[in-house]
Amino acid sequence: MDDLISLLNDTPCRAAPAAAPKQQQQQQQQQEAEEREKQRKAELERQQRLAREKEEQEKKRRAAEEAERQRKLKQQQELEEQKRKQAEALRLERLRKGAAVCIQAYWRGHCGRRMAAERRKQRQVELAAACLQAAWRCRAVMRQHEQLLAAAGAMQRAVRAWRARRRLQQLRVEAFRRMHAARVVQRAWRFFKTRGHTLGPLRVPPQGGSRPPSAGVDTDALLAKQLRLRGASDARLAPEAQDLGGALRRA
């Protein structure tokens, strides 16, 4: 079309009186064709520009969509990575807690078994100590009881011996008095028979009073001598009685 237009423009204009309107018509047609061609070119350029703009917009939209998709994909990947890290951390934390609980349970069991063994050993020691203490206390009580029995027996023997000696002394004194009285009576009777005296009235001393003096014999002196001898024998036995009394007080 452009070549045709240039060819028409380059052809010499042959002036002819009959062909003038035809040339004008042709020129008008050419101008109209040029206008149409320009319009068509302008429309084509506009369409091309719109197409380019639309394509650019489409590219931008696709780029934005791709960027958004990449951003969402990255966010999703980051979220999945974070979830994976959290799950891994949770798993490691559970493993760590499980291992800590296992170690604590083992250690507590070990400590509990050791404490139980120590308590059993301590209980055995306490039982043995209690048994030894009971045996020692029993032996001490038995020895104390034996000492008390021995001391009581010794004191009983000493008291019985003292009472027996006292009773024997009383019997001896009574026998001595009776013998002495009999001798005095015999002596008086013999003296009476040899001298030929008669019996006078019987003189009985008052109750609780002193006896009449016998002829040639001091009864009180003899009795005092016997009592002094008996007192000396009791004094020799006194330390034994004091030792027994001290042993009883200590027991």
Task: Dump pLDDT digits (tens) for 24-70.
Answer: 787 788 888 788 788 878 788 888 888 888 888 888 888 888 888 88
Q: Classify residue 206: in a domain, yes or no.
A: no
> Cα-flanking dihedrals φ and ψ of residue 77, to 5°?
-65, -45
- The helix/strand/coil state of 99 is helix
pTM of the model: 0.33
Neighbour tally for 151: CB within 10 Å: 19
155 and 245 in contact (C-beta within 8 Å)?
A: yes
Count the residues in the chain: 251
Would you say residue 15 has pLDDT above 50? no
Note the pLDDT tens digit of each residue in 207-217. Answer: 444 455 444 54
> Cα-flanking dihedrals φ and ψ of residue 214, to 5°?
-85, 155
Q: Classify residue 185: in a domain, yes or no.
A: yes
Note the pLDDT tens digit of each residue in 189-229. Answer: 888 788 754 444 444 444 444 455 444 545 556 666 655 65
- CA 195 – CA 192 distance, rounded (Å): 5
The two tokens of residue 55 are 């394509």
Q: Classify residue 12: in a domain, yes or no.
A: no
Neighbour tally for 147: CB within 10 Å: 14
Q: What percent of the chain clears pLDDT 70, i.e. is strictly above it?
A: 70
The two tokens of residue 12 are 């010499």
Q: Classify residue 232: in a domain, yes or no.
A: yes
Q: Classify residue 150: in a domain, yes or no.
A: yes
Q: How many domains does the chain have?
A: 1
Q: What is the mean pLDDT of residues 93-119?
A: 91
Q: Classify residue 236: in a domain, yes or no.
A: yes
The two tokens of residue 141 are 């009580």
Q: Classify residue 39: in a domain, yes or no.
A: no
Domain carrying residue 181: 146-194+217-250
The residue with tokens 């009186």 is 17
Q: What is the mean pLDDT of residues 129-138?
A: 92
Of 68-82, 126-140, 143-157, 226-240, which range is least confident?
Answer: 226-240
35 and 13 in contact (C-beta within 8 Å)?
A: no
* Sequence-separated (6 or more) residues with CB below 8 Å from residue 244: 151, 154, 155, 158
Q: Classify residue 141: in a domain, yes or no.
A: no
Query: Exposed, middle or buried: residue 244 (CB in 10 Å: 0-12, 13-18, 19+)?
Result: buried
Sign of CA dihedral 137, 139, 142, 146: negative
